[in-house]
A and B are shown apart, each in its own frame.
Chain A
Amino acid sequence: MRKLRKPVYATAGYNTISFGSGRKEFNPKKARPGLEEYITEAGKGVIAQINDPNNIDEGIISNFMAARFNHQGNLAAMIPMVHPSLEYKPCTRVEGACGSGGLGLYTAVKSVLSDVSDVALAIGVEVQNSVKAVYGADILAGAGHFRGERKEGHVYFFPAKFSDRAGACYQKFGYDYVRKGMAHWYAQAIIHARKNPKAQEYHNSIEDLIATGMTPPNSKAFCEHINVYDCSKVSDGASALIFASEEGLKKIGLTKKDAVEVVGWGQSQADISKKPDELTKLTTTRRSVEKAYEMSGIGPKELGFLEVHDCFTIGGLLHLEATGVVGYGEAAAFVAEGKTAINGEMPTNATGGLVGFGHYTGGTGTRQAVDILHQLIGKAGDCQVEIKSDRPYGMLISMGGNDRTVTCMIFKPAV
């Protein structure tokens, strides 16, 4: 079993609002904040929690497609906008589609472990409401293989990929069974989001969420096997937090009470030019999870709660199975029985997840880490889950593309 050569802590997390349709204040015709505003808000949100920003050694920024959504490249150069003390510090931008956030966490942890930095600031950001959905779909399709699959792909390329997965699951496990699980996933995401003032679905007031989630898919209007409620929305937002060594924590004036410890991770890469070999399973995700379990020396029984990448409700179910918390084909029932609710057996996506909180793609993995931090230090507000002493671990899975670029990370309280 690979052991960490020294402890690495995460602390001082901050999420912006996930902005987009659904928020009362959202008006597509009005000017909105851009990358600059989101990056600085999240960065300053972190800095406000530490003694002196001069103590930050480096910056890492996760983003997927600013070059197309916002015509902006060179995002590492946006980090110094957060504070003058970051000028001339080393900064890096990482990209792995919707899994960019996970790669940012992984990069920050490596930097601390290697003694290069004691304090690494990880930011994740995406601003996607800059284009209409039909063009946004083009941009997001970049997470798939452009040369190999875009031409014959659907208008809504990624929804259709997960629609295919849903279709395969219907075949294997029965339409009613899986559909019901997806509807419950949606309903739970909204119920959790309503407890989180920063969630995109915070204002959602739909009464019969299950009926809405059960809306039959309509291939004419959208996709063959999923409806629009099965999808995370188009979001703008950013998240940020600090990864630090033990000295690093002291340097920034924080204690272990304010922090969580990284106990293991797994990062796995699949070949973008190959089709997934099994539609009813996320095999790359599974590999990342296995690596993370091995490194941390725990298994699903020790997990207290989850943060999984439900860009689509079916993806949420498949992620749940990939964690090993439930067996193959069992997630739909587990969710429908309420076992993933905030007060359930395995609270999952307690702040709303991608479907409820929102999905600013390149920043989602960062947001998941911030939310795990807040849960483990008891600062998750109305979304707080009960952390039991015999299973104090929180796990996140950050996925890019169709199960291509996957980071899994496991945390526990630092004290």
Chain B
Amino acid sequence: MTFDDRLKNVSIVGAAGKMGSGIALLLAQEMVTQKLKPENKNQIYRLHLIDVNESALDGLQSYLKSQLVKAGEKVTGMLRELYKEHADLIENYDVIDAFVNDAMSVLRLGTDLGAVKDSKIIFEAVLEDKDLKVSLLKNMEKMVSPDTVYFTNTSSIPISVLNKDANLGGRIIGFHFYNPPAVQRLVELISPESTKPELKDMALEMAKRLRKKIVPSNDIAGFIGNGHFLRDGLYAIREAKKLAGEYTLPGALYAMNKVSQDLLVRPMGILQLIDYVGVDVYQCISVTISGYLQGEDLKDDLLAKMTQKKVLGGQFADGSQKNGFLKYEKNRPVGIYDADKGEYKMFDPNGWSGEIDKKLGAYPQGFYPWRSLLMDPKKGEKLSAFFKNLNASDTPGAKLAKGYLKNSKSIGEFLVKTGVAKSAQDVNDILLNGFYHLYGPINDYV
């Protein structure tokens, strides 16, 4: 069976979730593009979008429709070509509208898992819960044909464990999208020895079709991306705890968040990133990974406490940020969580947070925020110059930043040493492409 034949019937389980909905958009676009090719006339394409959450499926339908309109507006030239033979589709508006309708007609949304039965490719994107994933995979195995393959989006569970526990005979591969999948170019590909070689080829072809950049990772819990992110975030939290005497805990968390964003020239502070991913998701990944690692405990009581108190971060349906470590107004941080009091301490530039800013000290010469360097062709030179000055500076802020940079680097090196990543380049590629860092963690800056 060719890849194109498989592409005629695909399922996504957990399709209404954050990741599932983005994957659905990518697949819908690729499948309708195939369907519209003259050689595929009269072929039937089906994308089954399955989720237990009925109301979220309604949201998914309108989300996909509005996103398909936007996608159509970006490729109108191609659509005019695809609909060349349709004499009644004349204006840009006509072809975009036809494209959206054709794409929507490929979709079948529903709660019934049985819809997967004819699919040859199944994407799994349900909650990060091993038992749930295994039981779902087992259920699907009873219905699908023996050549059906699974692409799992798990962030932390080893693929070989899913393969073994669900008894899949090597028909599962880790195809780890980044959030949001429709925008992020990176996919971490986890293809353990148990995975069938032809499935790996399929995954590479899939990445090409969905215009994703593949970075391979070994099948070790957390893989490269979360392997770094988790340890990086825990470092910040643990450092903050150490500094709590001097800064108070909320003050120290504020400081670490600020240093990690500004002095490390990252798109957002580390705590803001944890909020973005979801404190609960982060906590869940930390527990899962810890379960598979020997001699390293990545669990943290603050994370557990916050999850328990339902301080979870994540996003509202409209995409705006929910409160987590930080409190947000119009998606900008305005306060920090005080776990002891169970309330937010609002930033106060003329009071406590201003004091901390002062204490951290002036930023070294040559500082530019992440955003202003993003498109700058000279960003390499500017970063080198800035980090050189950072190294020479001994303000408390610079010291925290240097420690942070060193730790980030050693996490990267650890991932290479323990075989999670094949090379330093792969680690750097993940951070550059999946986290939008301007430089890889394994560098000569410190």
Contact = CB atoms under 8 A, between A and B. Distances in A.
A138 B87 contact: no
Nearest to A141: B91
A151 B87 contact: yes
B90 A137 contact: no
A147 to B, nearest CB: 9
A150 B88 CA distance: 11
Contacts of B92: 134-135, 137-138, 155
A154 interface: yes
Could you say which interface size class chain B belongs to?
A: 10 to 19
Interface in B77-91: 77, 80, 87, 90-91
A150 B90 contact: yes
Nearest to B96: A134
B77 A138 contact: no
B90 A155 contact: no
Interface in A186-222: none
B76 interface: yes
A146 B93 CA distance: 14
A356 B77 CA distance: 27
B93 A155 contact: no
B90 A134 contact: no
A150 B80 CA distance: 11
A132 interface: yes
B73 A132 contact: yes
Nearest to B74: A134
Contact of B77 (A132, A150, A154): A154
B268 to A, nearest CB: 23
B47 to A, nearest CB: 25
B147 to A, nearest CB: 38
Is chain A's binding surface mostly helix, strand, loop or mixed? helix
Most chain B Cβ neighbours within 10 Å, of A137, A146, A150, A155: A155
Contact of B90 (A135, A151, A154): A151
B67 to A, nearest CB: 15
Interface in A105-140: 132, 134-135, 137-138
A138 B73 contact: no
Contacts of B87: 151
Contacts of A146: 90
B245 to A, nearest CB: 46
Contacts of A132: 73
Contacts, number: 23
B285 to A, nearest CB: 35
Contacts of A155: 76-77, 80, 92
A132 B91 CA distance: 14
A155 B73 CA distance: 10
Contacts of A141: 91
Nearest to A146: B90
A144 to B, nearest CB: 12
Nearest to A139: B91
Nearest to B83: A151
A132 B93 CA distance: 11
Contacts of B77: 154-155
Contacts of A138: 91-93
Nearest to B87: A151
A339 B299 CA distance: 74
A215 to B, nearest CB: 16
A135 B80 contact: no
A137 B92 CA distance: 8
A181 to B, nearest CB: 28
Most chain B Cβ neighbours within 10 Å, of A132, A135, A151: A151
A141 B91 CA distance: 9
Interface string B89-102: 01111001000000
Contacts of A135: 92-93
Nearest to B95: A155
Contacts of B80: 154-155
Nearest to B72: A134
A226 to B, nearest CB: 15
Contacts of B91: 138, 141, 150
Interface string B59-77: 0000000000000010011
Nearest to B86: A151
A150 B76 CA distance: 14
B95 to A, nearest CB: 9
A261 B435 CA distance: 66
Contacts of A134: 73, 76, 92, 96
Contacts of B76: 134, 155
A155 B77 CA distance: 6
Contacts of A137: 92
Most chain B Cβ neighbours within 10 Å, of A134, A135, A141, A154: A134
A150 B73 CA distance: 18
Contacts of A154: 77, 80
Interface in B147-192: none
Interface string A149-180: 01100110000000000000000000000000
Most chain A Cβ neighbours within 10 Å, of B73, B77, B92: B92
Nearest to B70: A132
A141 B92 CA distance: 10
A94 to B, nearest CB: 25
Nearest to A142: B91
A154 B81 CA distance: 10
A150 B89 CA distance: 10
A250 B159 CA distance: 90
Nearest to A152: B84
Interface in B7-27: none
Interface in B99-155: none
A141 B87 CA distance: 17
Contacts of B90: 146, 150-151
A135 B92 CA distance: 6
- 6 nearest A-B pairs in the assembled complex, by CB-CB distance: A138-B91, A155-B76, A155-B77, A151-B90, A138-B92, A134-B73
11 contacts: A134-B73, A134-B92, A135-B92, A138-B91, A146-B90, A150-B90, A154-B77, A154-B80, A155-B76, A155-B77, A155-B92
Interface of A: 132, 134-135, 137-138, 141, 146, 150-151, 154-155
Given A134-B92, A151-B90, 12 more contacts: A132-B73, A134-B73, A134-B96, A135-B92, A137-B92, A138-B91, A150-B91, A151-B87, A154-B77, A155-B77, A155-B80, A155-B92
